[in-house]
Amino acid sequence: MDLNVIQIIFILIIAFLAGAEGVLDQFQFHQPIIACTLIGLVTGNLEAGIILGGTLQMIALGWANIGAAVAPDAALASVASSIILVLGGQGINGVDTAIAVAIPLAVAGLMLSMVVRTLSIIVVHAMDAAAEKGNMRAMDVWHWIGIIIQGLRIVIPAAAILLLDAATVQNFLTGMPGWLTNGMAIGGGMVVAVGYALVINMMASKEVWPFFMIGFVIAALTEITLIGLGVLGVALALIYLTLSKSGGSGGGNHGDPLGDILNDY
Amino acid sequence: MADKIKLTKKDRFAVAWRSQFLQGSWNYERMQNGGWAYTLIPAIKKLYKDEDDKKAALKRHMEFFNTHPYVAAPIIGVTLALEEERANGANVDDTAIQGVKVGMMGPLAGIGDPVFWFTLRPILGALGATLAIGGNILGPILFFTLWNVIRFAFIWYTQEFGYDSGSKIADDLSGGLLQDITKGASILGMFILAALVQRWVSINFAPVVSTVALDPAAVIDWANLPYGYEGIRQAFDMVGAGYSQSAYRVTTLQSNLDDLIPGLAPLLLTLASMWLLKKKINPITIIFGLFAVGIVGYLIGLF
């Protein structure tokens, strides 16, 4: 099916929203049930779009960005498969083919996501420079540039599918060598350490290092969840504060040398 | 100090609105830091008229931050209250503010991920998808509306809750409560950071250290199990009783390291990064270095 210019512009706007939302994760424009429906709507394939969205949504139910880990990319999967569905012109009958295309694209999209998240380091360094000058306007603009790059992450592949044929784009996206994607995924597991190192350098003092050691051992050797660990951490902090106070206010009260030592910090 | 500068409801709403773009400049160096500073800009603009104070505030909010994007709201609320006190002359230092942020982000992410990503979205998603698979437009509409109403209500009310709690903390300055919170927050922060390093940094060494042939008596004799479900049941029983499923026991470098303590390599990597950062090595250099290590390590079979 041939699309007119207005339909193409609408598709690219939806692709942009889906791309930005892929990282923001707020309004959910990147979820298949929304993105596929919208693309179906602007191209006059509403029903097929809704059905594709619903089917893909069932597959993508558990995809989520946890911590620093990046999930399979629902945004690219939904946008690309809907465009392929529309171009194929088979309507509802094309849903199965579109889904078969969507899954490898979701994994390829994950790779693009990691590239953008590395590029964004440049963005926050520009924000640092703007903060140095007290230029809040520039900080706003740079942050939005970050969002725009995330949008383009989906707009560019979408435009490529619209211009070229779908097979070429799919071969390009899924044809990335295994050593690159696997190696990047392994690197992605390690680079989060740099972020934690930055904060630890900021907070660490002789007084609080023991709590780091306790935290590490408990996390390593038990199955306690992060909420559980949070409660333990609060309890430890309260105990420490109470002990260091009672040593101070009591003075010679109970002759607690440890309390005095803690109080001297 | 005649008048206290207060953040009005309108200011706080502007912050809540911006917090929806928290992850816009998410990056591998300091994660949500750019979005965090972007979120607080309306408050900083209101609170700090002095140019140097303003710059200092902007810079201290460009530090590392990462949590679930919705549960950031209560942390933002507390931070707003602390910044408000600071702007009015209270002794709230950078460590206190950073300590509160870091101390709260880990446990709250531990709430946000299961509640929103693994409970609410699958439920609403499945509800919408069930209708949508039948071609019903109500599916997407229902999903979109319910999700966004719940989401924004959560962001706004928990931010207000954080702001009210934060004000109470800061009001009690004479009691030393704030100093206690500062110290308590850095204890909690260090404790949680250790857990995050252990759980979220992932390194897996692939090389096989040893392959030992096991005594045939300790291995399930697959060829001579009874046919059908009886055989399957017997196999499960034998696994439960400690029989091995293969004739060889393969020990990888990773399983040797895990015997010492799981997460040793992530810990060493974090300590090494801290050391490099103290040597004034650019974090970007370290990040690209680690990606290169990942690719090379995969090619030579280390990971």
Contact A61 B125 (CB under 8 A): yes
Beta-carbon separation of B31 and A68 below 8 A? yes
The pLDDT value given to residue B1 = 47
Look up the pTM and report it: 0.76
Tell me how many residue pairs between chain A and chain B have CB atoms under 8 A apart: 391
Tell me how close the Cα of B41 comes to any Cα of chain A, in angstroms. Answer: 7
Chain B: residue nearest A204 by CA?
B190
Three-state DSSP string of chain A: CCCCHHHHHHHHHHHHHHHHHHHHCCCCCCCHHHHHHHHHHHCCCHHHHHHHHHHHHHHHCCCCCCCCCCCCCHHHHHHHHHHHHHHHCCHHHHHHHHHHHHHHHHHHHHHHHHHHHHHHHHHHHHHHHHHHCCCHHHHHHHHHHHHHHHHHHHHHHHHHHHHCCHHHHHHHHHCCCHHHHHHHHHHHHHHHHHHHHHHHHHHCCCCCHHHHHHHHHHHHHCCCCHHHHHHHHHHHHHHHHHHHHHHHHHCCCCCCHHHHHHHHC
pLDDT at A67: 60
> Which residues of chain B have a CB within 8 Å of the CB of A207?
183
- Per-residue pLDDT, averaged over B288-303, amounts to 89
Mean pLDDT calculated for residue range B97-125: 82
Indicate yes or no: CB of A203 within 8 angstroms of CB of B190: yes
Q: Which residues of B touch A37 (CB under 8 A)?
A: 132, 137, 140
- Partner-chain contact B193 A212, CB within 8 Å: yes
Instruction: Give the gap in angstroms from C-alpha B94 to the nearest C-alpha of chain A.
Output: 10
Inter-chain contact A179–B192, Cβ cutoff 8 Å?
no
How many angstroms away from the CA of A5 is the closest CA of chain B? 26
The burial of B170, by beta-carbon neighbours within 10 Å (0-12 exposed, 13-18 middle, 19 or more buried), is given as buried
Q: Tell if the CB–CB gap between A195 and B26 is shorter than 8 Å.
A: no
Query: Which residues of chain B lie closer than 8 angstroms to A231, CB-CB?
Result: 107
Mean pLDDT of the B217-234 span: 83
Close Cβ partners of B170 (under 8 Å, ≥ 6 residues apart): B81, B82, B84, B85, B90, B92, B178
Contact A226 B199 (CB under 8 A): yes
What does the pLDDT read at residue A246? Answer: 75
B183 to chain A: which residues are within 8 Å by CB? 207, 237, 240-241
User: H helices within B8-114, ranges in order?
Assistant: 9-18, 33-47, 51-60, 72-87, 94-112
Least confident of A239-243, B42-46, B116-120: B116-120
Nearest beta carbon to residue B41 from set A140, A186, A190: A140
Check B64 against A140: CB less than 8 A apart. Answer: no
In B, minimum Cα distance to A120 occurs at: B27
Helix (H, G, I), strand (E, B) or coil at B264: helix
Q: What is the mean pLDDT of residues B93-104?
A: 83
Nearest to A66 by CA among B160, B66, B291, B54: B66
How many residues are given for chain B? 303
Q: Spell out which residues of chain B touch residue A153, defining contact as CB-CB under 8 Å.
A: none
- Position B107 confidence tier, pLDDT thresholds 50, 70, 90: confident
Closest CA to B101 of A57, A112, A58, A199: A199
CA distance B149 to chain A (A): 10
CA distance B24 to A116: 11
Distance CA A200, CA A212 (A): 9
| Residue of chain A with shortest Cα separation from B53 | A134
Q: What is the pLDDT of residue A254?
A: 44
Residue type, B97: I
Do the chains contact at B183 and A136, CB–CB below 8 Å?
no
| A203 vs B contacts (CB less than 8 Å) | 95, 98-99, 102, 186, 189-190, 193
Indicate the range of B183-187, B195-199, B207-211 predicted with least confidence. Answer: B183-187
Best residue in A17, A190, A211, A217 to probe B by mutation, most B CBs within 10 Å? A190
Closest-CA distance, B303 to chain A, in angstroms, reads: 8
pLDDT beneath 70, residues of chain A:
1, 65-70, 166, 169-170, 172-176, 247-265
What average pLDDT does range B254-260 have in this prediction?
87
Could you tell me if A191 and B28 are in contact, meaning their C-beta atoms sit under 8 angstroms apart? yes
Instruction: Give the distance from residue A163's alpha carbon to the nearest chain B alpha carbon, in angstroms.
Output: 28
Contacts of A226 in chain B (CB under 8 A): 106-107, 109-110, 192, 195, 199
Neighboring chain A residues of B263 at a CB cutoff of 8 Å: 216, 219-220
Best of B187, B270, B279 to substitute, by most chain A Cβ atoms within 10 angstroms, is B187
**In this complex, do B262 and A221 lie within 8 Å of one another by their Cβ atoms?**
yes
Helix (H) or strand (E) holding B213: strand B208-213
Strand partners, B213: B248
Of the given ranges (A181-195, A243-257, B57-71, B117-131), which has the lowest mean pLDDT?
A: A243-257
Q: Which residues of B touch A25 (CB under 8 A)?
A: 23, 69
Q: What is the pLDDT of residue B264?
A: 92
State the average pLDDT over residues B88-94: 84
For residues A212 and A209, what is the distance between their CA atoms, to the nearest angstrom?
Answer: 5
Chain A neighbors of B44, CB-CB under 8 A: 136
- Please give the span between the terminal C-alpha atoms of chain A, in angstroms, as a whole number: 75
pLDDT at A33 (0 to 100) = 95
3-state SS record for A190-221 = HHHHHHHHHHHHHHCCCCCHHHHHHHHHHHHH
Nearest alpha-carbon partner for A80 in A2, A11, A10, A28: A11
pLDDT greater than 80 at residue B284: no
Neighbours of B262 (CB within 10 A): 16
Q: Do A192 and B200 touch (CB under 8 A)?
A: yes
Across the interface, of B25, B193, B297, the residue whose CB is closest to A124 is B25
